[in-house]
Structure 1
Amino acid sequence: MVYADSTIRSADLPPLMRHALLIVVSAGLGFAPPLMPTLHPPAYAQTVSTAVQRGYTLLGQGAVDQAIAVFERALRSTPNSVEAQLGLAIAYRRAGRDEDAFNAYERVLALDSSNRLALAALGVLGEFRPEWQQRGIAALTTLLNLDPGDTGARAQRALLYIFQGQFDAAIADYEIVLQQNTAPEVLIGAAQAYTFSGQYEVGIGLFRQFAATGTPFQPDQAIAYGIALREMGLAQQAIPVLEQTLVQTPAAAAAAARLRGALASAYAANQQVNQALAVLSPLPSRGDSRLILARAYQDLERYTGDPSFLQTAAQWYQQALLATPDLTSGVAREVADAFSIIPGYEQEALNIYQQLVQQYPSDRTLQMQLAVTEYQLNLIAASDLTSRLQTLLQPPPTDANDQRIVAQTLIRIDPPLPDLLGTYQTVAQLENSDPFLYFRIAQIYNQLGQYETAKQALSNYSSSAAGQRDIYSSLLLLADIERQQGNLDLSSQRYEVILGANLRDSQLITGALQGLAAVRQAQGRIDEALALYDQVVALNPQDPAKQLGRVALAYEGDRISEAEAVATLNQWLTAQGTSGQFPPELFSLVSILPAAPEREPLYDALLQLEPDNIPIYIRKVQVVAQRDPELAQALVEVLVLQRPDDLNVYFVQGEVAQAAGDLTLAKQVYEFILSQEPTNIGALQSLGGVQFQRRQFTSATRLYNRALALNPQNSEARMVLADLAVVRGYRLRAIEQLEQWQLEQWSQGIYDPEIAEQLQRIREGYLQQRGFQPPWERF
């Protein structure tokens, strides 16, 4: 039996396995450990006292209490008798006095350190209490050093490794045992070890081998099997396994509650939400089901995207805290991890992490979790977080559990910090890391404007087993990368695939709608973009930030005035600014509004939170340039020195140089960007603009044509090329090009007033050049 106060640290496990292992450990793994060897009177009985021989005889007759008395008397006269200590240990064990037995076996080993029976017995007793697990592992390791072929001892050590969360070590033992022993108890133990390590496919194969033996699944074995199937996208197969086991389990048993929680998760994964809620319905009245309900509702949110389920999960976690204030460290950590990702509960997560750090000051992973939570609550700046994490990760952890938790902690930083890129790359390469770190690395490269490198990092995630089960997250990021590269048609297609997939994940749907709205905006289809953003607002009625996003879009599309946009911003800051939460939509609106000295404190506050936010940094520099151009140039130079690999920084430098009239520097900057990314449309157009200003019209035309070849739907490039044709004396060509572009737009249902205005301006200039008065000026 394993007690519920197990010391296994659930938070050290992959996020999807946390609650599973805590459940399984709380009730035992359900397979029998090697039987305690029975001891007959020693063969060398002639050297053993008559009293000790009598003790063994009484044990053989089942007179356990009498045998204990005999062995205790014998030890008073001969305290160093190995035979008497061993007999007493066995008698204690048979009497159910486990702690006395444990101590007696330790005394045997103090007298005879290689006593195989005592070593094996400690290995079995290690299963009984969490504080004995490590001693049991050590005893079995000694026994295996004496006899490497003892598969029973190796299988038992693997079991204890599972209890300790050391799945890689457990798997290493099971790989050896399975070569010689495929008994059902070995198969089921190995299946669970592989499942808990995240190797679901191997785990499923072993579970199926176990099922083929005809041995029925015990409740927690069925739960582990269900998890493996669910994580491989086979929830439909998990449901009958769990349903059958639930029917065979007494309703009042604690295992029945655990089965209901697991079955609800399987139903949710299979999009059977009503069935999931129904199977959970008996649990709220049970005092032993608070954590089970919390975990099940987390899974409901995970598979449906419905944020209300996450709030329900938080409420059950709160009830668990109130009912059991002295939670074990593993459960406390689980609760803190859950609170850290539930809006409105971050402060409670912080409180728990602070308490755990006080209890376990040498645990670097706890200190990392605390630092990330402080950052999420805006209690520390990004630079402070970066410094603390880099210090805590010197050297990187070697323990498998610590490697997992470090990876999961870094994943929580969203959006990821570019200054931590090296840290992400180091941790991603650890043996027990999480492949989602490559997704975060791709996000960082996307932020840095290194789009092809971002795609390579994303492919590392999407090709992993986890990534293949999460294709739409990868598709959403890929669509965003394509959009920023200027590949608007391809980006649009990817967003539409997500929206057409009939997903229930509101976050993915929201992201795809916002991305597609940005594409339509870039294509000049403002009304379509606004209609898409109306869907975003409707999908997120409780999120006032989404309204900010719509205002930003409407302002940038000339559908509302600057005064209206500023008024909305000020209203939001008055109502929400004190919360300390600054959503991406706020950054977006602030960055597209013109630089304003009165907003400089806001720029500073936002840069304190996101020092890598280039659009906000540009506004800050522009405000500084109004009062001190040299200081603005110096700020940009410092930024370049700090972030030499960030192409976005060079765009800032180029823009500031252009604004200051230093076209030579601006040209050099944009040429440098193109040397790093020859297909960067933004750099091509920016350099083309500089060449236009320098009156190098042929060069400018060539650059804009390159940009247009990369994205034929690039309206800005077409309009500038028309202006270049005009200044080079080709007005009629410019008019023909714009008319053709206007017809293409009309065929797609797009009316761009800027094209009409430019056509009118060019035609007017052409008529005046020819000596005619335009008809609209005659009256």
Structure 2
Amino acid sequence: MNNPMNDLGNRYSTWQQIVGGVGVTVVVMTTVGGTAPIAQAQARPTSVSEGYTLLERGWVADAIVAFRQAIQQYPQSIEARLGLAIAYQRNGQDAEAWAAYQQVLTQAPTNQTALAAVGMMGSYRPEWQRSGIAALTTLLEQTPQNREARAQRALLYGYQGQFANAIADYDVLLADNPAPDVLLGAAQVYTYSGNYPQGLALFEQYLAEGGTLSNDVIAAYALALQENGRPDSAVEVLASRLQSFRAVDATAIQIRAALAIAYQKTDQLDAALATLAPLRNEPSATLSLARALSAIGRAENDKTVYADAVALYQQVLEQTPVASIGLQTEIADVFSEYAMTHPQALMLYDQLLEQQPTDQSLQIKRLLVSQRLGQLSQADLHEQLQAVLQNLPSDAVAQRSIAQALIRVDPPAPKLLPVYQVLAQAGADPFLDFRIAQIYLRQSDLEAAKQAITSYLSSPIGAQDYAPELLLADIERREGNLDASAQRYEGILAANPAARIRTDAQRGLAGVRLAQGQLNAALTIYDRLLATNPDDLASQLGQASIRYQTQQISETEAEAVLDRWLRTEPVPEPSPELFSLVGALPPAIGRQPLYESLLTVEPDHVAVNRRLVQVLATLDPDRARTQVAQLVQDNPGNLNAYFVQAELAQALGDLDWAGQSYERILQQQPNRIDALSALGGVRFQQRRYAEATELYNQVLALRPDDGETQRVLAELKAAQDQPYVAIDELRQVQQRQTETGEADSRVDRRIRQLQLDVLRRRGFQPAWERY
């Protein structure tokens, strides 16, 4: 979950699955008296004819007796058995009718009347759906132009979650003057399959032709509105319908659950949970409640709410001996996002793959769960995903299923960029553009990342999503436009979005404050996050990183926080704060596996690469050079690779090589602050003080309030034997830190040290200074 989601890689509701007939209107084929067509009499025995005569007069109970007697006389009579099945069905004895039709088909597998009846009855009970599909398939082989049979089969496919098959049937029906009930059924299946634009278009066509939406389809219509960027309209439609219900029946439950999700989409979490409250003690609401809670828990990143949903799904699974493919997939997807049920999710995916061994979306999801269980490294995951996705299907529904599985890979796999692009161009899912932007961002191709974000924002769902704003803020940070980045994060927070977005925005803002040298401001943000959620590991790591860098805690204490993260089971996803702490701590040979593991997630992370090459420079300098050379070769346009090369050069004492690496970066991005500052440091070490001063002044021009740069400029004065100027500049730094609450004990100590050095150089007090 997501990816958002993720997440995350996670805005995708389980309402995309349609199982057990929830939310879809039954399309009834043309029948006599509301049941299957009565068989035409053909040289019938008298007792059989008598049964049909009674049936036509409406004396159904007498007809049942007559047909039973006829079967005793003529056990091979298809007409007698068919008449009994029809009579049972008219009498409301569905189970008996179902069994009687099956007996007919045992004797006459191609009997069209029985096939049509079984197909229609397939929608009565979930466990009859597959037999209904099989019967209708046989019927359509005989009568391929039978539109009613095709419509009913499409509906049953939808119930089973076999959307590719359902939409294939609907495409045939929609191409030739579709009836209103076909439009309505197709609208629901397209919507629940995840093709929200097409679903909404079909709903609007149905309404434009004079159709009205009954209560049992209103949830699907609201979902189509919601996922097309109109969540407020979805709330309005659902809230209005819910007012008409006085009892908690199946339809009211469905509408209430859909309304709760719509409320959450409009950032009304309290209203969402209040709407679900009446369903808590309603046994018949278990599945609908589970769906709503999983969607809300995922969107809000609320583990408690999501755990409630998982527990409810466990009940559903236990109470459904013969679960449809759609329901099994839905439950497996939910379990795959909850650590405690990862093994169960893997088992469910294995069962599903036994039934659908070539389903690429299931294969992707199974690989993801395996990786989360520690059975695959991230590198192995990406390699196996490439193997699964070598050949993409041309079918749009299959592509959409693959896309919805692939966006769960978070962070996305750079080597799969061509696959993401093909699927995005096919319109498989708009969120693919967001994943593409993330990949470009990892490759430091900021312009391409912006273009991908623009594509995502052009979609209805992207226009309502805060995730692009978070990504744009990060791009601005990387470009060195820290003020703009901070303003964007603050704008997100001012909008008071969902809890997950607020948390991400606060962490992002903390990262900007760190880049601005405002350590206390960043620390305050993490303190606030931990006050709300003391168990938030990412915030603990971020807090420890800053406290260690400002000497508020010792190296041992900072390592204890890192060890706590390492001991957590299952191992959490690495966060930016983890990279920050690992990069801040001194290089340690014992952490080499951790460095290498983190670099499989973010190969170009400068601080972690720095630590790895520092370790390798000590243990195996040749391997360190090889590692950096490979990094540069694999990422020729990625300027961060040159940062790592420069760090290795400095670790090996090759300052000329380090300087050349930083200059390469500045050729491409002349105002890149971290490169200017780093090159200034190299020139400082080379005692090329004038060049170092010029470089640091460029940094200060771009970031006037950067206390660390001001401190280094003072140190340059000291290095050039200007202690009084250095002391004066350090005092200015000290004063500004006091004003902003960013006191740094290093500045105090350095001022005292310089003053002491001056006194020592003077040796004694001259006589003329005594008076």
TM-score, normalised to structure 1, is: 0.78
Counterparts of 2:285 and 2:753, CA distance in 1:
73
User: Which of 492, 502, 509 in structure 2 is aligned with 1:498?
Assistant: 492
SS of the residue 1:595 aligns to: coil
Distance 1:766 1:442 in 2: 55
- Displacement of 1:762 in angstroms is 10
Deviation at 1:756, TM superposition (A): 8.5
Which among 547, 550, 555 is matched to residue 557 of structure 1? 550
Question: Per chain length, whose mean CA-contact separation is higher, i.e. which structure has more relative contact order (CA < 8 Å, sep 6+)?
Answer: 2
After alignment, is 377-386 or 87-96 more displaced? Answer: 87-96
Q: What residue is the counterpart of 2:615 in the other structure?
A: 623
* 1:360 CA displacement: 4.7
Residue 592 of structure 1 is matched in structure 2 by: 584
Name the stretch that deviates more: 551-560 or 683-692. Answer: 683-692
Letter in 2 for 1:406: I
Deviation at 1:589, TM superposition (A): 1.4
In the TM superposition, residue 596 of structure 1 has moved relative to its aligned partner by: 2.3
Q: Which residue of 2 aligns with 1:36?
A: 31
1:463 aligns with 2:458: yes
User: Kindly tell me: are residues 106 and 160 of structure 1, through their superposed partners in 2, closer, same or farther at Cα, counting changes over 3 Å?
Assistant: farther
**TM-fit CA distance, 1:539:** 2.3
Q: Which residue of 2 aligns with 1:580?
A: 571
1:448 and 2:446 matched: no
Distance in 1, Cα, partners of 2:754 & 2:131: 87
Judging changes above 3 Å, is the alpha-carbon distance between structure 1 residues 422 and 40 closer, same or farther for their aligned structure 2 residues? closer
State how 1:119-518 maps to structure 2 within 5 Å.
129-132=128-131, 134-135=133-134, 138=137, 156=152, 159-160=155-156, 162-163=158-159, 164-166=162-164, 168-169=167-168, 172-173=171-172, 175-177=174-176, 180=177, 183=180, 185-200=181-196, 203-204=199-200, 207=203, 217-232=213-228, 234-239=230-235, 241-242=237-238, 245-246=241-242, 251=247, 253-270=249-266, 273=269, 276-302=272-298, 304-324=300-320, 327-357=323-353, 360-432=356-428, 434-470=429-465, 472-503=466-497, 505-518=498-511
Structure 1 unaligned blocks of 5 or more: 1-13, 78-83
After TM superposition, list the pairs within 5 Å mapping 1:718-737 onto structure 2: none
Q: CA offset at residue 552 of structure 1?
A: 0.5
Which is further off, 349-358 or 208-217?
Answer: 208-217
Which residue number in structure 1 is paired with residue 94 of structure 2? none
Cα root mean square deviation, aligned: 5.0
Partner of 1:519: 512
How far apart are 1:537 and its partner, in Å? Answer: 0.9
- For 1:22, what is the secondary structure of its paired residue? coil
Give the letter aligned to residue 540 of structure 2.
Answer: Q
1:454, CA displacement in angstroms? 2.4
**Secondary structure of the equivalent of 1:378?**
coil
Q: Against the structure 1 CA distance between its residues 475 and 106, is the aligned structure 2 distance closer, same or farther, given a 3 Å change threshold? A: farther
Identify if the C-alpha distance between structure 1 residues 615 and 107 changes in structure 2 by more than 3 Å, giving closer, same or farther: farther
Residue type of the partner of 2:411? P
**Partner residue in 2 for 1:10:** none
Displacement of 1:385: 0.7
- Which residue of structure 2 lines up, in the alignment, with residue 649 of structure 1? 641
CA contact (8 A) 1:265 1:296 kept: yes
For the Cα contact (< 8 Å) 1:488–1:713, is it kept in 2?
no
State the shift of 1:583 in Å.
4.1
Post-superposition Cα deviations, 1:551-596, rounded to whole Å, max 9, x if no partner, equal 10122234334344234445x268x356534642333312211112
Who is 2:525 aligned against? Answer: 532
Q: Secondary structure at the match of 2:586?
A: coil
- The residue type equivalent to 2:314 in the other structure is Q
Give the whole-Å Cα distance in 2 for the aligned partners of 1:202 and 1:369: 26
- Tell me by how many angstroms 1:720 deviates: 6.1
SS at match of 2:21: helix
Residue by residue over 1:42-93, the C-alpha shift from the partner in whole angstroms, topping out at 9 and shown as x without a partner, is 8xx9xx758799699847666866689989999979xxxxxx98x9868855
Tell me how far 1:655 sits from its aligned partner: 1.4
The offset of 1:372, in angstroms, is 0.8
Shift of 1:411: 2.4
Distance 1:665 1:103 in 2: 85
Alignment-derived partner of residue 630 in structure 2: 638
CA distance in 2, matches of 1:652, 1:627: 17
Q: Distance in 2 between matches of 1:220 and 1:773?
A: 97
Distance 1:188 1:664, change over 3 A: same
Query: Cα 1:345–1:580, aligned 2, differ >3 Å: closer, same or farther?
Result: same
Cα separation, 2, equivalents of 1:583 and 1:518: 15
**Structure 2: tracts of 5 or more residues without a match:** 1-9, 90-96
8 Å CA contact retained: 1:20, 1:224: no
Q: Shift in Å at residue 168 of structure 1?
A: 4.7
- What is the SS of the residue equivalent to 1:515? helix
Report if aligned partners of 1:137, 1:160 keep a CA contact under 8 Å in 2.
Answer: no
Structure 1 counterpart of 2:451, one-letter code: Q
Going from structure 1 to structure 2, the CA distance change for 1:508 and 1:668 (only over 3 Å counts) comes to: same
Secondary structure of the corresponding residue to residue 559 of structure 1: coil
CA shift, 1:391, in A, is: 0.9
In structure 2, C-alpha distance between the alignment counterparts of 1:451 and 1:754, rounded to whole Å: 36
**What TM-score, normalized by structure 2, do the two folds share?**
0.78
SS in 1 for 2:175: helix
Q: Give the letter for the 2:163 counterpart.
A: G
1:542 paired residue among 504, 512, 535: 535
| Alignment-mate amino acid for residue 227 of structure 2 | E
Decide whether aligned partners of structure 1 residues 569 and 237 sit closer, same or farther in structure 2, where only a CA change above 3 A counts: closer
Classify the secondary structure of the residue corresponding to 1:478. Answer: helix
Maintained 8 Å contact 1:687/1:703: yes
Deviations 1:703-751 (A, max 9, x none): 6666666655556666667777999999999999999999988887766
Question: Counterparts of 2:129 and 2:39 in 1: how far apart (Å)?
Answer: 32
Percent of residue pairs bearing the same amino acid type:
39
In 2: Cα distance, 1:568 partner to 1:21 partner: 41
Q: Secondary structure at the match of 1:289?
A: helix
**Equivalent residue letter for 1:479:** A
Q: CA–CA distance in 1 between the matches of 2:648 and 2:743?
A: 33
User: What displacement does 1:251 show?
Assistant: 3.6
**Larger displacement relative to structure 2 (756-765 or 228-237):** 756-765
Q: How has the CA–CA distance of structure 1 residues 419 and 758 changed in structure 2, closer, same or farther, with 3 Å as cutoff?
A: farther
Moved more, 436-445 or 640-649: 640-649
Range with bigger deviation, 732-741 or 648-657: 732-741
Structure 2 distance, partners of 1:352, 1:153, is 32
Q: Deviations over 1:667-689 (max 9, x none)?
A: 44344445555654434444455
- Give, in whole Å, the separation in 1 of the partners of 2:422 and 2:712: 45
1:225 partner amino acid: Y
* Matched AA of 2:481: N
1:317 shift after superposition: 2.0
What's the CA shift string for 1:392-443, capped at 9, x where partnerless? 11212344444333323332233334444444334434442x2223222322
8 Å contact kept, 1:441–1:454: yes
Rounded to whole Å, the distance in 1 between the matches of 2:186 and 2:370 is 39
The C-alpha deviation readout for 1:245-294, integer Å capped at 9, x for no partner, is 55666846433433332333344445555554454444344433322221
Can you list the C-alpha shifts for 1:204-238, whole angstroms capped at 9, x where unaligned? 56546756888764442122123233434555544
Distance 1:731 1:311, change over 3 A: same
